[in-house]
Amino acid sequence: MISFLHDVRPMRVILWLVVVTSIIFKPVPGTELIYEGWAVFNTLLLPVFAPIFLMLLFLDSLIAKLWSTQTEGAEQKRYKMILRIDLAMSVIFILVWFSYFQALAG
């Protein structure tokens, strides 16, 4: 586990943890906004930052793909693993958050 965390570097680990936290604490579609207390995190901050988190996952995927084409051996495998994790998390993120943003549009 320690070598995995060392391989993916701290910034990616933080990004993935933030995305997982965003998935876990996603508000129910149609939830009223609350402007004070801890509920601000769920009802206001997460919906605002969700598209930014998705773009960060896509950007990290793009960078991982770029670096995987310029490296060989173990480094190339490492970047391909990062690319797969980023894309898998992106798909899960979109599936989880789609209903929330669809409710906003409708």
pLDDT in tens, 35-44: 999 999 999 9
Which parts of the chain sit beneath pLDDT 70? none
**Three-state SS at 14:** helix
Q: pTM, whole model, 2 decimals?
A: 0.90
Parse the chain into domains and list their residue ranges: 2-105
Mean of per-residue pLDDT scores for the chain: 94
Residue 48 host element (H or E)? helix 46-70
Q: For residue 87, give both structure tokens.
A: 């894309």
Q: For residue 48, give both structure tokens.
A: 């605002």
The C-alpha atoms of residue 65 and residue 86 are separated, in whole angstroms, by 11
Q: For residue 83, give both structure tokens.
A: 């690319």
